[in-house]
Copies of this chain bind each other. A is one copy, B any other.
Amino acid sequence: MSARVLIVDDLFPNVKLLETKLSLEYFDVIAAMNGPDAIAICEKGLCDIVLLDVMMPGMDGFEVCRRLKNNPVTAHLPVVMVTALDQPADRLRGLDAGADDFLTKPIDDTALFTRVRSLVRLKAVTDELRSRAMASRDFGIGDPLAIATAETGQNADILLVDDRASSAERLATALSQHHSVTVETDPHQALVRATEGSFELALVSLDLKDFDGLRLCSQLRSLDRTRNIPVIMMAEAHDRGRIIRGLDFGVHDYLMRPIDRNELIARVRTQVRRRRFSEVLRGAVQASMELAITDGLTGLHNRRYLDNHLAALFSEAVLRQRPVSALMLDIDRFKSINDTYGHEAGDEVLKAFADRIRTHTRGIDIVARYGGEEIVIILPDAGVEGAHTIAERIRERIEEVPFSIQRDTRSVAVTVSIGVAARNAEDAGPADMLKRADAALYRAKAEGRNRVVAAAA
């Protein structure tokens, strides 16, 4: 993908050199001559990736990187640190600050372009997710970005694919301090494990006996069930061509053998954080969508969900000539609970009432708060007798044990009246069935409450 690259360097000739190179590759380039300016540009959302010089007066590159990575607004931006010295210690400091990679001056062009492109592409895939999650924040449903940014990248389930026993053992030992590691020597088996397990990262050796490790990486990146798992390649010096290829098709990072233990730990942490960042955002979007069909107080489905699903469920029952039934439940004298013990006690009863109902219904049933203290249950494949039995069981469970209110300091006896109706051949739609259930509920109330009444078929 094309992208806006921010070059951060206090020396103008360095900026110019990188700018020319990147511009020729059709990247859009912006420059900042110091840390604070760079952070401001990132916060305004004006770039997609940051190339960051280490040595700068005032705020150095490490500090800039740390700040970007700990700010929910900028944490998703890939950062590549650029330094004149290739000291392992510098490298590590950069990775520890959260950098995605580290390049040494003079910069190798292929390495630079490959890395920038690969990081930008990975970012593009999660940008959509991030912008949806931002919306959920604007709606006040929570702040997933802050939660995602706070993620430390520890205690991950890691799949290590390496068929050299000594290497595998050394790597596993190093990682075990922070993570849980599964070693697999067979690449075919590794793919099976990855699809079946819940790994948060795969480390794959490119030099397996009789198998191209890069192919396993490619499979992991393309299968539906594994494509959200970050992959790190482990390569020998002669594997440069395959590393570039791997980065090009979506492998997240690589380590050169002999693998430095601290670099291993730092790169693994970065990828685990990245993966969890996406997962948190994905979960937030999903959760805020689920809220739309959930009743806030009871956690049951709401009327919107019932209305949307009942029609489809009912048509299917008609089509397949199967029964379907509805229960209409109403807590007896609920108003007097509210009047006597207050609204909060009423809410407590409603919540507990919903919980008891949940334990007596199946996954395929629809249980929805219909409004106020009324709950509707739709029972697919249940005729009127079956539905009556379930209703009676619920009625008993409600009557049996009083409800505790006011934080368990008191308890109150609650009963429920239930109207039952099954679909019949004359029904034009689900509304007719619900109307009969409502009428049956009305009779249950009139006949003295705390009872189940079935509508005539």
Q: Which residue numbers of A lie inside 8 Å of B, CB to CB?
A: 1-4, 26-28, 45, 48, 117, 121, 124-129, 132, 135-136, 139-141, 214-215, 217-219, 221-224, 245, 249-250, 282, 285-286, 288-293, 296, 302-305, 308-309, 312
Set of chain B residues within 8 Å of A124, measured between Cβ atoms: 121, 124-125
Once the chains bind, are B222 and A139 in contact (CB under 8 Å)?
A: no
Once the chains bind, are B140 and A308 in contact (CB under 8 Å)?
A: yes
- A285-B132 contact given A26-B215, A140-B308, A291-B292, CB 8 Å threshold: yes
How far apart are A179's CB and chain B's nearest CB, in angstroms?
25
Given contacts A139-B293, A292-B292, 20 further A-B contacts (CB under 8 A): A1-B125, A1-B222, A2-B219, A2-B250, A3-B222, A45-B224, A124-B124, A124-B125, A132-B289, A139-B289, A139-B305, A139-B308, A140-B293, A140-B308, A140-B309, A285-B289, A288-B289, A291-B293, A291-B304, A296-B304
Q: List 21 A-B contacts (CB under 8 A).
A: A1-B121, A1-B249, A2-B217, A2-B219, A2-B250, A4-B222, A4-B223, A26-B217, A48-B222, A121-B121, A121-B124, A125-B128, A132-B289, A136-B289, A139-B290, A139-B293, A139-B305, A141-B289, A285-B285, A289-B289, A296-B304
Chain B, Cβ-Cβ closest to A46: B224
A45 to B309, alpha carbons, bound, how many Å? 25
How many of these chains are in the complex? Answer: 2
How far apart are A12's CB and chain B's nearest CB, in angstroms?
23
Once the chains bind, are A292 and B288 in contact (CB under 8 Å)?
A: yes
A308 to B136, alpha carbons, bound, how many Å? 12
- A218-B27 contact given A139-B305, A303-B296, CB 8 Å threshold: yes
How far apart are A338's CB and chain B's nearest CB, in angstroms?
12
Set of chain B residues within 8 Å of A117, measured between Cβ atoms: 249
Set of chain B residues within 8 Å of A121, measured between Cβ atoms: 1, 121, 124
Set of chain B residues within 8 Å of A308, measured between Cβ atoms: 139-141
How far apart are A225's CB and chain B's nearest CB, in angstroms?
11
A126 to B126, alpha carbons, bound, how many Å? 9
Set of chain B residues within 8 Å of A312, measured between Cβ atoms: 140
Once the chains bind, are B2 and A218 in contact (CB under 8 Å)?
A: yes
Set of chain B residues within 8 Å of A309, measured between Cβ atoms: 140
